[in-house]
Amino acid sequence: MPKFIGFSTINRYKKFTVTDYDLIKQDLLNALNIRQGELPGRPGFGTTIWEYVFEPQTQDVLTAMEQEMQRVCGSDPRLYIERINTFPQENGVLIEVLLSVVPSTDTERLAIFFDQEVRNATYV
């Protein structure tokens, strides 16, 4: 029996139901693709990572991105963050997150690429 049930129309044509880890991954990606302040009625939802993607990738900027990723992931009570690493890329930033879904202890690695050209975050 699934613990978390939701729906998504992204890359789906007949079955729109999404459950458990797939739902949590989709919710996280949605939060990362929305710039903070863009969602009407929820000014704290979203992320400010996009402000850092276009800056020179100094250690201070990478640390700020990791802290913002911690804030976004921490706002979802279903997630527990083990570790976050950032890797500057030629046309964006790759952020690797090691997390577990509460109450489980199994950890999953997510690699999220923030692409400067298309201004979109995707799992790789």
Angle 85-88-91 from CA coordinates, rounded to 5°: 135
CA distance 94 to 110: 10
Please report, for the domain that includes residue 83, its CATH number.
3.10.450.40
pLDDT at 59: 93
Q: What is the pLDDT along the chain (124 residues), one digit of tens a residue?
A: 446 655 454 555 556 555 567 778 888 888 999 999 888 888 888 899 999 988 888 999 999 999 999 999 998 888 899 999 999 998 899 999 999 888 777 888 999 999 999 999 999 9
Structural domain boundaries, residue 85:
5-123
pLDDT at 1: 41
Sign of CA dihedral 113, 36, 73, 70: positive
Neighbour tally for 119: CB within 10 Å: 13
The domain total for the chain is 1
Neighbour tally for 122: CB within 10 Å: 14
pTM: 0.82
* Contact in structure between 69 and 49 (CB atoms under 8 Å): yes
Q: Give me the DSSP letters along 48-106.
A: SHHHHHTS---HHHHHHHHHHHHHHHHTSTTEEEEEEEEEEETTEEEEEEEEEETT---
